[in-house]
A and B are shown apart, each in its own frame.
Chain A
Amino acid sequence: MKPEVGTILGLTVQKLAMGIGDEGAPFAQGTVGLLASVLTLSAKEYERGADIRFTENREIRALFAELAPSVVDVTLREDLLAASVASDPSLRISDLNEGNYALRRLLTRLQIYAEEHGALEAQKRIWAVLKALAQRRLVQLGP
């Protein structure tokens, strides 16, 4: 997810300081509504952001451990095995993101490999993880 909560909160303060009523009531109404929405999303992200990333990283590492033995490409297999036993240095969002981005890049390499080698079962496992990832990151405005 970009932008992160810290960016949103900082720019919301900046927007409020600029005076959102100066451009007329209809636009100000719309802006206030949108600010309310992004602040609502930020509140939810505050609660679940670390858990989403921690869970996602764990699931991708488990997938790498499961699929690495069947990968013939030595470089890719070694990268997968190394990533599968790594861990996040802390539960700070920035640390989790750093690990997550590396895992996502490697996941794409693995998926391309599976596609190019016609490894259907591996593709299914990858898509199962990606579906779960997308579902977990889905944001909703309601309760």
Chain B
Amino acid sequence: MKELADKLAAYLRVKLAAPDLTVHDLARIPGGASRETYRFRARHVVGGKKLDRGLILRRDPVASLIETERTTEYRAYDAFHKLGLPVPEPIALELGSAALERPFFIMAEVENCAPGSIMNTEPYGEHRQKVGEQFYTVLGKIAAADPGAIGLGDFEGAKNVNHAAMHEVARWEKVIDEDEREPQPIVRAALRWLKRNPPPPAQKISVVHGDYRTGNFLIDDGGTIRAVLDWEMSHLGDPLEDLGWAIDPLWAGADPARPGGMIPRADAIRTWEEASGLKADHKALHWWEIFASLKGTAIWISAALEYADGRNIDPINAFSGWYCLSVHNKVLAERLAAEVGA
């Protein structure tokens, strides 16, 4: 850890033009399975004043749960931080391997906050109403943003409202085709259903966060959302994709009527509609909810393979490939069986 701290300090001295900068308290923290996440403090003097700032390092792992593009994640942080949403301030992006062996980026630490756990049936306790209202309002604002106006118009994804749904189906079918190691009849049936029953065209093309859910944002002691994290799967697409993912039953799903352990489903949808200026058409949202569980299975199948192959033996991959996959298989089976009256 000291070697990493020394290299990090050397990098930041140059990057921030701070020759006296020192790195302290560097420690790895849990924070997403697709990047190694470290917390540290950077101390240096600026204009005679001592600065002591908490920062977060996100470094590419040797192998990750889903192959993601760190430039995409960094640019999303930058764009939505500037838009005034609760997103940490990005500090530096390094695509080379010279400084810390692998590409990485650094952002401000949002201190004295914690995420909710997807395994907790009441992740927000007395703050669930307040958290839920903010959660869906922020998501609505992400949906409302014009990708071109915030500099993300070139993001990967669908550029045409008619293609958004099938673009995403193709993306995740490819992952399943490549990583599936045992036959998945429910997953295959879900893919066929999604293709046979396309949703209406998207109302607009938005930046889709890609993993907007309980567990991926930080709240303070008063229940205020301070940071939306994990933008590595962000892309262009139908904003209903994020809403469908946010209300998926996997996330603190003990009570399906209160997705994510927050506000009632109807209130969640209404809050999102008000903030986004869009409509959550029932048929379209139903399609995106089934898609969300399908996308989940693709991610968990991929995680299980990385673990079983020994490429990334972080136990989060074993847990995801086992627990999360079993939940999403059950959700898909129940929803698709209902489609034929079974």
A contact set with B: CB distance below 8 Å: 1-4, 7-8, 11-12, 14-15, 22-27, 30-31, 34-35, 37-38, 41, 97, 101, 104-105, 107-108, 111-112, 115, 120, 123-125, 127-128, 130-131, 133-135, 137-139, 141
In the assembled complex, the Cα of A125 lies from the Cα of B341 at a distance in Å of 10
| B28 and A108 contact, CB distance less than 8 A | no
B313 at the interface (CB under 8 A from A): yes
* Tally of chain B residues near chain A (CB < 8 A): 45
CB-based A-B contact count at 8 angstroms: 135
| A104 and B342 contact, CB distance less than 8 A | no
Mask of B175-198 contacts with A, CB within 8 angstroms, 1/0: 000000111111011001000000
In the assembled complex, the Cα of A11 lies from the Cα of B36 at a distance in Å of 19
Please provide the chain B residues from 297 to 333 with a CB less than 8 Å away from any CB of chain A in the complex.
301, 304-305, 307-308, 310, 313-316, 318-319, 321-323, 325-327, 329-330, 332-333
B29 at the interface (CB under 8 A from A): yes
Instruction: Enumerate chain A residues within 8 angstroms of B301, measured Cβ to Cβ.
Output: 2
B47 at the interface (CB under 8 A from A): no
In the assembled complex, the Cα of A102 lies from the Cα of B27 at a distance in Å of 47
| A117–chain B nearest beta-carbon distance, Å | 13
Q: Given contacts A25-B27, A34-B316, is CB(A7)–CB(B308) below 8 Å?
A: yes
Q: Is the interface of B mostly helix, strand, loop or mixed?
A: helix
Instruction: Enumerate chain B residues within 8 angstroms of A34, measured Cβ to Cβ.
Output: 314-316, 318-319
| A2 and B308 contact, CB distance less than 8 A | yes
| A27 and B27 contact, CB distance less than 8 A | yes
Nearest-neighbor residue (CB-CB) of A15 within chain B: B313
Q: Given contacts A2-B304, A3-B304, is CB(A107)–CB(B341) below 8 Å?
A: no
| A63–chain B nearest beta-carbon distance, Å | 12
Instruction: Enumerate chain A residues within 8 angstroms of B181, measured Cβ to Cβ.
Output: 2
| B189 and A111 contact, CB distance less than 8 A | yes
Instruction: Enumerate chain B residues within 8 angstroms of A27, measured Cβ to Cβ.
Output: 27-30
B281 at the interface (CB under 8 A from A): no
Instruction: Enumerate chain B residues within 8 angstroms of A137, measured Cβ to Cβ.
Output: 326, 329-330
Nearest-neighbor residue (CB-CB) of B308 within chain A: A3
Instruction: Enumerate chain B residues within 8 angstroms of A8, measured Cβ to Cβ.
Output: 318
